[in-house]
Amino acid sequence: MLDNFIFIGLPYGALALFLFVLPYRYFSNRLTWTPFSSQFLERKTLYWGAMAWHFGIVTVLLAHLTGFLAPRLVEAIISNQAFFLALENISLGLGLLALFGSVVLLFRRATAERIKAVTRIADWLILLLLIAQAATGVYISVYVRWGYQWYHYTAVPYLYSLLTFHPQIEYVSDFPFFFKLHVAGAFLILGILPFTKLVHLLYLPVGFLKDPQILYRWNFDPKEKQG
């Protein structure tokens, strides 16, 4: 029952929220589409928190995604034992970095006077969820070895089964409690993402990499006028 909830109910619920709320928010109220940076108000603690958290979580998340999107590639890489061990250890390190960063950020939310002025309930919710997620991730990395190996014989086929609407939870239902917590946390975060400032992670600044530095906008089409 609990397995069905975690591995079927939660993911589809989260997916539905993500797919429907996100466009609604994008088209109805883009004014709120921002990470709500508070660096302006407090920066000393933020440096340690935000740098550690972001660089840790971005790489770990990319590793999860690569395993999911390019399982063959990961398989090829981990067939070399030296690479495999290095990857395991680096990932654990990055996970610890993210955990450290998120704890620092929580500490900052709780103590910095000015930050209280810009703190909403969602900020606490997100922070606690992300800390739990990083903590369970680190726990799994240490105690459920070796993640890089079992990930794409279990989690990856399970995720694909979700996408094809034939959820096969037997791939993952035998995992220990902390793994289930980690999965539940992931889908919970995905589900609340459209409601919170986490939407900022969906924005990748690629457009600006190729565009001209100086951007003009006209209230009419200048070419049309030339005719």
Question: Which parts of this chain interact with another protein (CB under 8 A)?
Answer: 29-41, 43, 46-47, 50-51, 53-55, 113-114, 116-118, 120-123, 125, 195-197, 200, 203, 205, 207-209, 211, 213-220, 222, 225-226
Q: Which of 80, 218, 220, 214 is nearest to 148 (CA)?
A: 80
Q: How far is the CB of 30 from another protein (least distance, A)?
A: 4
Task: Please state the separation of Cα 23 from the chain's center in Å.
Answer: 18
Which is closer to another protein, CB of 138 or CB of 199?
Answer: 199
Would you say 154 and 169 are in contact if contact means Cβ atoms under 8 Å apart?
A: no
Query: Can you tell me the distance from the alpha carbon of 223 to that of 227, in angstroms, rounded to the nearest whole number?
Result: 7
Which is closer to another protein, CB of 17 or CB of 122?
Answer: 122
Q: How far is the CB of 100 from another protein (least distance, A)?
A: 14
Q: Quick count: other Cβ atoms within 10 Å of Cβ 21? A: 16
Which is closer to another protein, CB of 31 or CB of 82?
Answer: 31
Residue tagged 């946390």 (tokens): 185
Q: How far is the CB of 111 from another protein (least distance, A)?
A: 13
Q: How far is the CB of 188 from another protein (least distance, A)?
A: 14
Q: How far is the CB of 116 from another protein (least distance, A)?
A: 7
Which is closer to another protein, CB of 72 or CB of 210?
Answer: 210
End-to-end CA distance of the chain: 69
Which is closer to another protein, CB of 1 or CB of 209?
Answer: 209
Q: Quick count: other Cβ atoms within 10 Å of Cβ 153? A: 12
Which is closer to another protein, CB of 122 or CB of 132?
Answer: 122
Q: How far is the CB of 215 from another protein (least distance, A)?
A: 4
Would you say 60 and 91 are in contact if contact means Cβ atoms under 8 Å apart?
A: yes
The encoded tokens of residue 162 equal: 């979700």
Q: Quick count: other Cβ atoms within 10 Å of Cβ 78? A: 20
Amino acid type, 49? G
What 3-state DSSP class applies to 84?
helix
